[in-house]
Amino acid sequence: MRNLLIILFCLLTSSLLAQDSSRVVIEAVDTAATDPQKWKEIRNVCSELDIPANPEANLDLLLFTLDWRGTPYCYGGSTKKCTDCSGFTSNAYRKVYDKSIPRVSREIYGNSMPIDKRSLYEGDLVFFATGGGKRITHVGIYLWDGYFAHASSSKGVMVSNLRQGYYRKTFVSGGAWID
C-alpha cells in the first residue's frame, strides 16, 4: 500500500510540474510573439551567431554568447581575455542564471542530472570526452536544434552543432545542473 501511495504521489507531482513548465514555454513564445522589439533582437543576435532564430530563446544567454564569441582559449582561463570551456560555462551560468557551478567540466558533470541528447533544452549542459572513452574533458551550454555555445581549444568561444562529426563522436551526455 505504501509503495502505491508513493507511486501515486510521484505521478501527481510530475504531472503538475509538466503542466507548470508547459505554461512557462507558452508564456515565452507569447512574449516574443507580442513583443516585436524583443523578437527582432533575438533574430538579429541569432543571425550574428549564425543559428536559426527561436522565439523561445533566452535573450540574455544569446547576448552573453555573442559578447564572449571569439574570446581566445587558454587552459584554466575564465575571463574575456582568455577562457577555457568550464570558465566560459561557469561565467555564463553565473551571469545568465545566477548560479554558481564548478570550474572543472568533470565536477560540473558529476553534479548534473543526466539528460538524453533528444531531451536537451536551452540552458542545459552538454558534456564531451574529447580524449576518447567516457572521461569528461569538455563542457558547453545547449541552445537549441543541436547548437551549443562553448570555448573551443582551437577557435575560442563559438557556437557549434552536436551533429558535426567531431562533436557527434565525442558527445557523452547532456545534463541539468542540480543546485
Active-site residue set: 85, 138, 150
β-strands 125-128, 147-152 pairing = unpaired
Asked if 178 and 172 touch (Cβ cutoff 8 Å), the reply is no
For the beta carbon of residue 172, count every other beta carbon within 10 angstroms. Answer: 19
Exposure string for 86-108, b = 16+ CB within 10 A, e = fewer: bbbbbbbbeebeeeebbeebeeb
User: Are the C-beta atoms of 146 and 163 separated by less than 8 Å?
Assistant: yes
Which grid coordinates are listed for 107? 565536477
